[in-house]
Chain A
Amino acid sequence: MATKILTVDDSRTIRLIVTRAFRAYDCAICEAGNGEEGLAVAAREKPDVIILDVTMPVMDGVTMLGKLKETPELKAIPVVMLTAESGRDNILQIARIGVRDYLVKPFKEEQLVEKVGRIVSLEKKAATAPAV
């Protein structure tokens, strides 16, 4: 079964890059543009891992993370923060709420795949047989 990854970021560019990063793997990517949408998608899709931005409209990533951890059926989903927010106080605050890993933008796709691969199993897609 494909590994389900939820990317929550208000930037379509970042969501596209995340999708591209995992295209060689047997993954299903779900997307949300803010924390409120992210919670709804997480409840519906029960992803294996969430990749979460901090600064977003409507509901930011820190608020979403807090609500996720307060929800019994969602709190065990591992979260990797993917954000340009690298300030000491913010990192400490986010770590206290509980994240599995933290990747500061700018980032390379390989770094993201490596960090996610430490949390969930990533299987390379089988090569597609050429059409006859």
Chain B
Amino acid sequence: MNNSIIEVEHLVKKFGDLVAVDDINFHVEKGEAFGFLGPNGAGKTTTISILCTLLKPTSGTVTLNGFNVQRQAHQARRSLGLVFQDPSLDIRLTALQNLKFHAHIYGIPRRVCNSRIEDVLKMVQLWDRRNDDVKNFSGGMRRRLEIARGLLHYPQVLFLDEPTLGLDPQTRFHIWDYVLELKHRENITIFLTTHYMDEANIADRIAIIDNGKIVALDTPQALKNMVGGDIITLKTDDNHTAREEIITLFGIEAKQDRDGISFETANGEEFIPKLTHDLNTNVISIGLRRPTLDDVFLKVTGHEMREENGGEAVDKRIWTMRQAGGRAGRFH
């Protein structure tokens, strides 16, 4: 309790008849990376806006670094850094001028101002472009600059609302690497929202949010354990018959979709030879994978996380890259 930096009690936010946030409760510990995972429109941004004093809750209380965000908004603001989902730079000024504005308005001591600006700009690889107008920056560069700005005043809590949306995998990787390093070095609490699965994996704990409610909250590993073992996907000549065979032979609840059949089982590696031996239907392919947060989401909400699959390919690529780089352990 004493160690909580964010405390949310019975938070409700209504927009007219629409209940965007529906009675949610959670605590975030100091120094923790806390992830909000959910589809677009689930209430992630609304919650973050309330936590950041930008929006007033309909009811409930939010405490940030010991300050009530409604009654002590001013003190709460000093403790937080924010990287918005929508751009919030002055595009008619240079990168340097944007950061100087931020440094002044956050009261960063003048003697550390320039060195910190240099640090963050080098981190996001924009130091060479510091005197260019932001209006000439690409989307990715603008985003990187915003992240640099959010870190400039070394906040107690750094809010990242879909911070890597629309960035290339390399930049995303680089940014998360730095955020985690900063968290480690300065003991900054990270509060992130995302709908990229691999990004949610960097969190120490994840709250899965759907339709304004928190449907699950735990460490990524514990959440994945909820799924109950490995996931086996199967393609056969006759998926319908094969599914019935699996149910009768092994007593496993298998699901059939247009790609084939999928089911969960413990010790998947040992199960596959048994399956191919016993099954009468001709098997075309078998796949085995560990449960992902996508599976967790499906399990707790009963529906897929996203309808469009745009981010999926990127997710897989960055994942492979990380494992190749030997960093998988750290991100898991």
Is chain B a partner of chain A in the same complex?
Answer: no
Residues in B lying within 8 Å of A, measured CB to CB: none
Residues in A lying within 8 Å of B, measured CB to CB: none
